[in-house]
Amino acid sequence: MLKIYGIKNCSSMKKAFDLLHELGLAYEFHDYKKHGIDPDTLKTWLDAQGEAVILNKKGTTWRKLSEQEQQLTLSSQDNLIDTLSIHTSLIKRPVLQTSKGLIVGFDEAAYRALA
């Protein structure tokens, strides 16, 4: 079973949901705005994909952090996990957990390959 993580009201998430429905793929949705995200899951994602893939530096949430907060966030994986846990909007969306690993961000070709 696929598990998709993200925020319900997000354009990338809408594209992902629509395509999963079109392809007839069953999934479980984890809204980390409502349910949070546990540190162990974040560590697994960071170990598998790396900070550059998981951390969304393009959004307003990152820009709203002070330079000092940004530097502290990037100073260690533990600090990054703490910040991502608090500011879940900093996690790139969607994160789709498949039996073969993660697809981070909406990638239509990768989703279609699952069908």
Domains and their CATH numbers in the chain = 2-112 (3.40.30.10)
Q: How far apart are CA 75 and CA 25, in angstroms?
A: 39
The pLDDT tens digits of the residues spanning 22-55 come to 999 999 999 998 999 999 999 999 999 999 999 9
Helix (H, G, I), strand (E, B) or coil at 75: coil
> Do 114 and 61 contact (CB within 8 A), yes or no?
no
- Integer angstrom CA distances of residue 113 from 23, 41, 67, 98: 10, 24, 40, 11
Long-range contacts of 49-52 (CB under 8 A, 24+ apart): 49/102, 49/104, 51/77, 51/80
The pLDDT tens digits of the residues spanning 59-114 come to 999 999 999 999 999 999 999 999 999 999 999 999 999 999 999 999 999 999 99
β 95-98/101-104 pair status: antiparallel
What does pTM read for this prediction? 0.93
**Helices 77-86 and 39-49: angle between axes, nearest 10 degrees:** 120
Show the beta-strand stretches assigned E in 34-112.
95-98, 101-104
